[in-house]
Chains A and B, each alone.
Chain A
Amino acid sequence: MNMKVDPRTAVMDMPRRDARDKVTGRTRFMVDMAGSDVLRAVVVRAGSGAAKVLRIDTSAAARMRGVRGIATAADAPQLHGVGVMDQPLFVRDRIRYPGEPICAIAADTLEQARAAAAVVVVETEEMPACLTMAEALAPGAPLLHPDWKSYECIVDGVARGGNIAWEGKVVRGDVDAAFARPDVSVVESCFRVGRQSHFPFEPRGAVASYEDGRFHVITSTQVPWTVRAVTARVMGVHASQVRVTVPPVGGAFGLKFDASIEPMAAILAKKTGRTVSLVNSREEETQTCLCRENADIWIRSAITPEGKIAGREAVVLMDAGAYGGEQIFLSTMTAHTLGAGYRLESVRMSSRVVYTNTPPNGAFRSCNGAYNSFALERHTDEICEKIGMDPMAFRKLNVLSDGDPGTTGQIFEGDVLGPMLDRMEALRERTGTREHRAGDRLYGLATTVGTWNIFVGPSSATINLNADGSVTLITASVEIGSGSITQGVPQIVAANLGIHPSKVIVKGADTDAAGYDMGTGGGRTVVSMGAAATAACEVVRDKLLDTASELLQTPPADLVLRNGRVEIRDRPGSGTTIETVIARAEQTKGPISGSGAFTAPQSAKAMPGCAAGHFFDAMDLPVFIVHEAEVAVDPDTGETEVLAYRVVQDVGRAINPRAVRGQIQGAVIQGIGYGIHEAVTIGADGGIEQTGFETYHMPLAQDAVKVEIDLYEGAPSCGPMGTKGIAEVAIMNGGATMACAIANATGKRVQQLPLTAPKVLALTCGIEPVLDHPHISRRWSDNILR
């Protein structure tokens, strides 16, 4: 029975259930789980980049005091990857980046494991390296993966080859004709961004054991089911032999969306017969961080005299590092981020994932959206400057509205971005501006728009009703700090069952208990897991009402679940308690439980033939943001102070408005970090130069600003109760807004992120070289594989 639940009953500022243990230090994270009975392991890593392996000898290490086992390439025969299976767990015949794992050693103590690591013999012969994408794409460049053709690829016929791990492209309409129009102004821009490092407080690691012929991996991950699959795959065992459980995760931000060192811990557990803890040191964590990738972007637009976009073309080069990883999947998002937001009469975009001899990159909150929005919004402001149009007026004229086609021809539903721009103006009106606080520094203000997709996709949930009137929610969702599974989903379950969310017990993620879930990330948990849980609620509600109907001699259709009771509709206080019904059902039909599932509704459709090499052609659930910042730039130091930051965010329906605001505040500060503070640099050997907190400027309390937030509700959503994911997209325009505001303040052409003080100083002094990407051909068709 599909009964309508009033979504307003789900809305409340429910506090976090995990906060008390977190502020009293009682929460046990993965890193807190290694007691004296647990072996400690370390990864032996390659000291240099591109090299041929001549010999790896672990025999001396094996004889060292306290050593209990060594995991090597021989223990992990299969390659793994996202889209393309190109990555070994341990180095085989060649080293592709500094820090690549050679082997892992478990010993009684960490000191012993480290001592043994120091005597592993690795003989290598240096090979020519590609440290930048320009080098990797140059004619005759050395190939990182000479065997690329032999790699297993999840879809056939994708354009890839040489150092291009993957290529996605989209073509809609006649772009050449648009640029050939005599009346258009052509605006061309080049951009470059560096990497961003997640710096979760808890590094990646795992505690593994081998019990009753199966592996049990306790890990700090967002994707228990992926860890299960990858761990089994690399070892060549059946996935059912791996159980993954996840305690509270000490920060993730996308970094933990891939399996990393879990399989190593699993191998060591089996080899030693002991429980093994393997945790990255802060230095390893930083130097092998699966960063938000660095990228080079070229974009060109043909603008009509009325200020409309007749044609747009772009090339995005995404640095995968040594292995394809998440970038392969994310190449699809170029069309939906760089190609988003604005009405385009014609468009073509090439999105290329390039191998380099640097540490692999990965997923980071809003992923390539964070730099594609930077490129798009700076380009938009460059257009406005060229044609002499007010940036707000241009945006209002061109943002997508109801019925407009997106880049892949998908028809957008609802008029969202336009009204959100109006709301931003109203918000600014309310808060006032802070220009007066700039003093004699350069003042700048910018407003930007952004679009992201919620990665809905498969989730499943089970609900057990307990005799005391509580319910147990069993899922593979993980508490990563976002509150989605400890606040959002229980609130949805509670509203569906007419109980208080505190009565919903949330079982920690366990692949032996819960069904498949794609993972906690991409803003998908409240939507996908919320929908799966809603479906499970429908099953248990039917059973409850069935039994209640017998008890109360009333047809189920006349019964409602409310305030912990089964009541007769329109007669509050009537009926009986939910406990009574559950107890009765236990006697008559057996305990009540139910499961539900959800996946992408597949209702969004692209224009056939538009896109190639895409994991999906249309966005299932687009989500929009408008950001605005005021900055003061000190022309003598290049230092930027954020005077004010305003956000209007499309949230669908905020079921926990306070928690939503908390996520936005946190994400925006990370986004500002991306824009003006956080710099990852690559050294001469291809390695990441930063080693930890002392060399990476993540925002401090003094860098923070209180974000003024307006939650825009009511946009169309397939999410339960009209919800959308909120924590992912909230970071997206931090970089874009900083860049546009600093450009506005300095009057300079901002082409790169991050805009650290020395960079801004170079810009204001006019000594920052102009970027023009000679490695990207101005003839778009040269930038696609044939």
Chain B
Amino acid sequence: MAVEFTLNGEWRDFAGDPRTPLLDVLRDGCRMTGTKSVCRAGFCGACTVMVGGEPVPSCQRPIGMLEGAEIVTIEGIAPPEELNPVQRAFLEHDVVQCGMCFPGMVITLTDFLRRNAAPTRSGIKEALSGNMCRCTGYERIIDAVMSIRETETPAAEAVSR
């Protein structure tokens, strides 16, 4: 029995093993490689996608449990050619290094800002407890997010398209 779900607004189906992690369905089945496979154990956050409006580690979600789910990946977080405020802030603050953690960072922080219009540094750090980065030492990621709060009013509107 095929599982049906929407991916970045489009209906898709998957007919393979229902235990297949969503991560592999995205990367191997759909060849959408923006979602990164790093720890495959729910620790690093590089595989984070939105499922039904919640950020979740896609390596921990068997596709069989996602019948009818609305899935949004990094490829669908902003229209092609456009950046969302979190992505823009990362560019403007020259935050990126190797970049492997950033798709997950973007998803987590976009959602976080939608829920927290006026975040604090420690609030952002807490939000990143499931998103690791080996390269940047985090602080500039926080600087970038704080700058959104300062320039975009109100953050909630700007972020949820």
Chain A residues engaging chain B, CB cutoff 8 angstroms: 13, 15-16, 18-29, 31-32, 35-36, 198-202, 248-253, 282, 480-483, 658-659, 662-663, 665-670, 692-694, 698-702, 704-707
Q: Which residues of B contact A483 (CB under 8 A)?
A: 97
Instruction: With A202-B100, A248-B98 given, name 16 new contacts (CB 8 A).
Output: A23-B83, A23-B91, A23-B96, A24-B83, A25-B33, A25-B34, A25-B36, A670-B137, A700-B138, A701-B125, A701-B129, A701-B138, A701-B142, A704-B137, A704-B138, A705-B139
Q: Is the beta-carbon distance between B96 and A25 smaller than 8 angstroms?
A: no
Q: Could you tell me the distance between the alpha carbons of A31 and B137 in the complex, rounded to whole angstroms?
A: 23
Given contacts A250-B99, A701-B142, contact A665 B136 (CB under 8 A): yes
Tell me whether B155 is interfacial, beta carbon within 8 Å.
no
Q: Could you tell me the distance between the alpha carbons of A659 and B94 in the complex, rounded to whole angstroms?
A: 7
Q: Is the beta-carbon distance between B138 and A24 smaller than 8 angstroms?
A: no
- The chain B residue sitting closest to A663, CB to CB, is B97
Q: Is the beta-carbon distance between B99 and A18 smaller than 8 angstroms?
A: yes
Q: Is the beta-carbon distance between B78 and A32 smaller than 8 angstroms?
A: no
Q: Is the beta-carbon distance between A698 and B132 smaller than 8 angstroms?
A: yes
Q: Could you tell me the distance between the alpha carbons of A658 and B143 in the complex, rounded to whole angstroms?
A: 13
Across the interface, A669 reaches (CB within 8 A) one of B27, B106, B138, namely B138
Tell me whether B140 is interfacial, beta carbon within 8 Å.
yes
Q: Is the beta-carbon distance between A701 and B131 smaller than 8 angstroms?
A: yes
Across the interface, B136 reaches (CB within 8 A) one of A248, A666, A705, namely A666
Q: Which residues of A contact B137 (CB under 8 A)?
A: 665-670, 699, 704, 707
User: Can you give 10 contacting A-B residue pairs, CB < 8 Å?
Assistant: A23-B106, A251-B98, A282-B38, A662-B95, A665-B139, A698-B134, A701-B128, A701-B131, A701-B141, A705-B139
How distant is A680 from chain B, measured CB to nearest CB, in Å? 15
Q: Could you tell me the distance between the alpha carbons of A665 and B31 in the complex, rounded to whole angstroms?
A: 34
Q: Could you tell me the distance between the alpha carbons of A666 and B98 in the complex, rounded to whole angstroms?
A: 11
Q: Is the beta-carbon distance between A19 and B99 smaller than 8 angstroms?
A: yes
Given contacts A23-B99, A250-B100, contact A28 B33 (CB under 8 A): yes
For the complex, would chain A's binding face be called helix, strand, loop or mixed by DSSP majority? loop
Q: Could you tell me the distance between the alpha carbons of A13 and B140 in the complex, rounded to whole angstroms?
A: 15
Q: Is the beta-carbon distance between B135 and A282 smaller than 8 angstroms?
A: no
Q: Which residues of A contact B131 (CB under 8 A)?
A: 701
Tell me whether B126 is interfacial, beta carbon within 8 Å.
yes
Tell me whether B37 is interfacial, beta carbon within 8 Å.
yes
How distant is A708 from chain B, measured CB to nearest CB, in Å? 11
Q: Which residues of A contact B33 (CB under 8 A)?
A: 25, 28, 32
- The chain A residue sitting closest to B35, CB to CB, is A25
Q: Is the beta-carbon distance between B94 and A19 smaller than 8 angstroms?
A: yes
Q: Is the beta-carbon distance between B99 and A27 smaller than 8 angstroms?
A: yes
Q: Could you tell me the distance between the alpha carbons of A705 and B41 in the complex, rounded to whole angstroms?
A: 26
Q: Is the beta-carbon distance between A24 and B74 smaller than 8 angstroms?
A: yes
Q: Could you tell me the distance between the alpha carbons of A478 and B137 in the complex, rounded to whole angstroms?
A: 21
Chain B residues engaging chain A, CB cutoff 8 angstroms: 27-28, 31-41, 43-44, 46, 73-75, 78, 83, 87, 90-92, 94-103, 106, 124-126, 128-129, 131-142
Q: Is the beta-carbon distance between A19 and B91 smaller than 8 angstroms?
A: yes
Q: Could you tell me the distance between the alpha carbons of A667 and B124 in the complex, rounded to whole angstroms?
A: 21
Across the interface, B39 reaches (CB within 8 A) one of A31, A282, A702, A707, namely A282
Q: Is the beta-carbon distance between B43 and A694 smaller than 8 angstroms?
A: yes
- The chain A residue sitting closest to B27, CB to CB, is A32
Across the interface, A666 reaches (CB within 8 A) one of B90, B97, B102, B124, namely B97
Q: Is the beta-carbon distance between A16 and B136 smaller than 8 angstroms?
A: no
Q: Could you tell me the distance between the alpha carbons of A167 and B103 in the complex, rounded to whole angstroms?
A: 46
Q: Which residues of A contact B94 (CB under 8 A)?
A: 13, 15-16, 19, 658-659, 662
How distant is B72 from chain A, measured CB to nearest CB, in Å? 12
Q: Which residues of A contact B106 (CB under 8 A)?
A: 23
Q: Which residues of B contact A692 (CB under 8 A)?
A: 39, 41, 43
How distant is B112 from chain A, measured CB to nearest CB, in Å? 12
- The chain A residue sitting closest to B32, CB to CB, is A25
Q: Is the beta-carbon distance between B73 and A201 smaller than 8 angstroms?
A: no
How distant is B20 from chain A, measured CB to nearest CB, in Å? 11
Given contacts A25-B74, A27-B99, contact A693 B132 (CB under 8 A): yes
Q: Which residues of A contact B92 (CB under 8 A)?
A: 15
Q: Which residues of B contact A704 (CB under 8 A)?
A: 125, 137-139
Q: Is the beta-carbon distance between A662 and B97 smaller than 8 angstroms?
A: yes
Q: Could you tell me the distance between the alpha carbons of A669 and B133 in the complex, rounded to whole angstroms?
A: 10
Q: Which residues of A contact B32 (CB under 8 A)?
A: 25
How distant is B124 from chain A, measured CB to nearest CB, in Å? 8
Q: Which residues of B contact A28 (CB under 8 A)?
A: 33
Q: Which residues of B contact A18 (CB under 8 A)?
A: 96, 99
Q: Is the beta-carbon distance between B140 and A22 smaller than 8 angstroms?
A: no
Given contacts A202-B100, A662-B95, A666-B135, contact A23 B87 (CB under 8 A): yes
How distant is B71 from chain A, measured CB to nearest CB, in Å? 14
Q: Could you tell me the distance between the alpha carbons of A26 and B87 in the complex, rounded to whole angstroms?
A: 13
